[in-house]
Structure 1
Amino acid sequence: MFKVGIIGATGYVGVELLRLLLNHDKVTVTAISSSTFKDEEISSVYKSFFNKTTLVCKDKSDVIDKCDVIFTALPHGLSEEIAAEAISKNKKVIDLGADFRLECEDSYEEWYGKKFTCKDIHKNSIYGLPEFNGSKVKEFNIVANPGCYPTSISLGLMPLLKNNLINTKNIICDSKSGITGAGRGLSLKTHFAEANENFAAYGIGSHRHTPEIEQTLSYMANENVEVTFTPHLLPVNRGILSTIYCQPKDKLTLEEIHEIYKKQYENEEFVHVLPLGQTAEIKHVKYTNNCHISIHQNYRKNKIIIISVIDNMVKGAAGQAIQNMNLLLDLPQNTGLKLIAPSF
């Protein structure tokens, strides 16, 4: 059994990691940490773990010392030094924050207001979108787990970009996320009275996932890709639905586009291309590591419309991190992730 630990275990992403890892039959959760709830049992913070685990939140050093693989579920700017210490002790790190997602330090400083503090270790990290570069993950000691919006959008566009089928300068990504995407810390927009019976855009033209989306899509296309990305807050707990609009370079039938998508993802465990005529919906991927994609077309405007849905806490965060862990440990990607969405 591999020993794994979570630094930042009491945030929404950290506790989702713990929920999934406790059901993984190839790893043991050996240690967890929390700066807010240090020395408290996790079951006292989240009652769902009562009689399921006796893990106590300790210091981050305890996690590094006791574990083979460390998950860092922390705000940006806090994972670099932890990762540096961990890999100096021959540990593997999967970071669910933003510290290793952007390759360009100037871009990181522009969007996050910080410079890289441990510059040398970035060359030992990889952006871990398994369906795109999963074969390379185990060659690195640090995996940057993708953001939730970039995961939904990247999987939605990858077949078109890899096959050079669309204009890369006028892609529109219109995404909606459940409230858990904002994290456990309370803000005005996540108050019940503000979010309930409401639907609002935010981060318009300035959301921090924009450079990550463009960086990933540019690698897929092998040319510079520009997007107009607007996120929205849905009054639901979890889930992301991205509606993506793009212009094909040549006339393509809906059937031809659909075949391209099916071929791209035919061997992928977690990406499912729905039959033509069906529409991807959040409820069909909740609590799973799946991404559902449906293909549509506006014939009058010659536009391709892609709908891509994921659970922002699983495929968009904790589940994808475990998928990356499985790749690091040379385990089947679906180990611990054979999850089925509830029917209602």
Structure 2
Amino acid sequence: MSSLAALSSSHFNGGCLWKYQDELKVGKLRISVTSMASSSPTQSLEFRDGKANKLDKLRIGVLGASGYTGSECDIVSFRIIRLLRNHPHFQITLMTADRKAGQSIESVFPHLVTQDLPNLVAVKDADFSAVDAVFCCLPHGTTQDFRLQNIAEYEEWYGQPHKATALQKEAVYGLTEISRKEIQSARLVANPGCYPTSVQLPLIPLIKSNLIEVRNIIIDSKSGVSGAGRGAKEANLYTEIAEGIHSYGITRHRHVPEIEQGLSEAANSKVTVSFTPHLMPMSRGMQSTIYVEMAPGVTTQDLKDHLGNYYEHEEFVVLLNNKEVPHTRHVRGSNYCLMNVFPDRIHGRAIIISVIDNLVKGASGQALQNLNLMMGIPENLGLGFVKSNYFPLGETAPTFAVEVFGSRLSFQMYPIFIR
């Protein structure tokens, strides 16, 4: 059986990563793909026992490369291409896009014209023999969701049968800072959705420590339009989105069972939340405002202290100081999650605010973070800011180190080249 590592970073399905032990080649683990899925750039890797060593670069495929997840502007696919092209140990050798098959990537994303990237091909024509790992940025149903452990729940919320039930029990949920140990040794990792990432990172540590009640949790989340994908939908047209805000998926958003699954596991009991997402007239970014009831005798300072201690040594999750309010502009283009806790006017309740870039920490960035972990290399590789001919989706050039409200944020800066 050939070994396999396939990572899907789709905005739609959260994605997965597979790793099989190669029984045919002794010593060097080779990886092929059948399903969805700082060091010098001159250094390369080989993979022994699932860990990375210097030798060969890992050959990467991106399925759905013309979409927002695969590319970043195309929402998540473009982002993963931008991240991978600067990764010291990964090299893109395959990109698929059925609707754009035969075209060059620069015909879809002109700002990638200077990059040495393969042409787009249809999935059915893809040669996976020359691929070691795959980021899959395709909708659910094309590459199956492995985020929900309960198959019946998946079929209820997604309205279709799950076609890979035999693999479901293997899947490890890839919320990196919460499940790092499991991800490192997993064969199949399901990458989380964007809303669940922004909600679970602040709530799971508090629930595990019994600092908040699990009843009456209210979640108000807002996302940039890129969260709706790159498909041509009338509701996503500029004239429909600009100068307005609207709710969608009220009571039936597909991220609800994913959120409740993670919180229920943390609480060791069934947790039901009130979750309402909103679409904002901005290209990217996500904020979740969460209203919780504190356990008897617990204060908002207790919540802050616990979150601060829990994430003290995490690079990508930051608790802000004092009363500073997280802002989506401060995480734009980064793999960071910023959060803070505030007292509610209602006695005994607290307000938690978290922000992420829905295309990075909420999708491609966390997917790359997980693949780094599974390959035994530093999980932050490839996740610094990257140089570009121009910065798409309104992204501004990072020209100096940034300190947000006195909190630690280390960014890798590059010169900007304008052609």
Same fold (TM over 0.5): yes
- Greater displacement, 110-119 / 225-234: 110-119
In structure 1, the partner of 2:121 is 58
In structure 2, the partner of 1:76 is 140
**Distance in 2 of aligned mates of 1:300 and 1:118:** 46
CA contact (8 A) 1:63 1:70 kept: no
The answer for unaligned runs of 5 or more in structure 2 is 1-56, 72-78, 387-394, 399-419
In structure 2, the partner of 1:172 is 218
CA RMSD of aligned residues (A): 1.6
Deviations 1:9-51 (A, max 9, x none): 1100011111111011111111111111111111111101011
In structure 2, the partner of 1:132 is 178
Structure 2 residue corresponding to 1:13, chosen from 64, 69, 82? 69
> Is residue 222 of structure 2 the alignment partner of residue 182 of structure 1?
no
Query: What is the correspondence of 1:87-98 to structure 2 with a 5 Å cutoff?
Result: none
- One-letter amino acid matched to 1:72: C
In structure 1, the partner of 2:201 is 155
TM-score, normalization: structure 1?
Answer: 0.91
- Greater displacement, 312-321 / 248-257: 248-257
Deviations 1:178-212 (A, max 9, x none): 00000000222211111100011111111111000
Q: 1:343, CA displacement in angstroms?
A: 8.3
Structure 1 residue corresponding to 2:266, chosen from 220, 230, 248? 220
TM-score, normalization: structure 2?
Answer: 0.75
- One-letter amino acid matched to 1:131: E
Q: 1:3, CA displacement in angstroms?
A: 1.2
**Distance in 1 of aligned mates of 2:220 and 2:104:** 40
In structure 1, the partner of 2:241 is 195
SS at match of 2:169: helix
> Is residue 354 of structure 2 the alignment partner of residue 308 of structure 1?
yes
SS at match of 1:235: coil
- Greater displacement, 134-143 / 58-67: 58-67
SS at match of 1:131: coil
The answer for unaligned runs of 5 or more in structure 1 is 81-98
**Distance in 1 of aligned mates of 2:169 and 2:128:** 21
**Distance in 2 of aligned mates of 1:123 and 1:319:** 25
**Distance in 2 of aligned mates of 1:317 and 1:229:** 20
Deviations 1:161-192 (A, max 9, x none): 11011111210000000000000002222111
**Distance in 2 of aligned mates of 1:300 and 1:104:** 36
> Is residue 97 of structure 2 the alignment partner of residue 34 of structure 1?
yes
> Is residue 391 of structure 2 the alignment partner of residue 327 of structure 1?
no
- Greater displacement, 62-71 / 40-49: 62-71
Query: What is the correspondence of 1:106-125 to structure 2 with a 5 Å cutoff?
Result: 106-125=152-171
Identity %: 41
Write 1 or 2 for the structure with the bigger share of helix: 1
Cα distance change of structure 1 residues 288 and 63 upon mapping to structure 2, 3 Å threshold = farther
Cα distance change of structure 1 residues 219 and 342 upon mapping to structure 2, 3 Å threshold = farther
**Distance in 1 of aligned mates of 2:104 and 2:371:** 25
Deviations 1:77-130 (A, max 9, x none): 1114xxxxxxxxxxxxxxxxxx11111111011110112212211222211000
CA contact (8 A) 2:170 2:188 kept: yes
CA contact (8 A) 2:149 2:169 kept: no
CA contact (8 A) 1:145 1:317 kept: yes
In structure 1, the partner of 2:411 is none
| Higher alpha-carbon Rg | 2
**Distance in 1 of aligned mates of 2:134 and 2:397:** 34
- One-letter amino acid matched to 2:88: D
**Distance in 2 of aligned mates of 1:296 and 1:63:** 52
The total of aligned residue pairs comes to: 326
CA contact (8 A) 2:60 2:94 kept: yes
CA contact (8 A) 1:276 1:295 kept: no
**Deviation above 6 Å: which 4+ runs of structure 1?**
none
Cα distance change of structure 1 residues 284 and 55 upon mapping to structure 2, 3 Å threshold = same
CA contact (8 A) 1:43 1:54 kept: no
Cα distance change of structure 1 residues 253 and 167 upon mapping to structure 2, 3 Å threshold = closer
**Distance in 2 of aligned mates of 1:48 and 1:323:** 24
SS at match of 1:231: strand
